[in-house]
Structure 1
Amino acid sequence: MVSAVCHGPAGLINIQLNDGRYLVEGKTISTFTNEEEAEMQLEEVVPFALETALIEKGARIDKAETGRKSFG
Structure 2
Amino acid sequence: MKKWGLLLVFALFLVFIFNILPISQDKVEDRIYEQNDKDTSDDKMTAENMQKIELTEEQIYQGNLLLVNNEHPVH
TM-score class, shorter: under 0.3
Higher Cα Rg, which structure: 2
Q: What's the TM-score once normalised by structure 2's chain length?
A: 0.20
More strand, by proportion = 1
Structure having greater relative contact order (Cα 8 Å, sep ≥ 6): 1
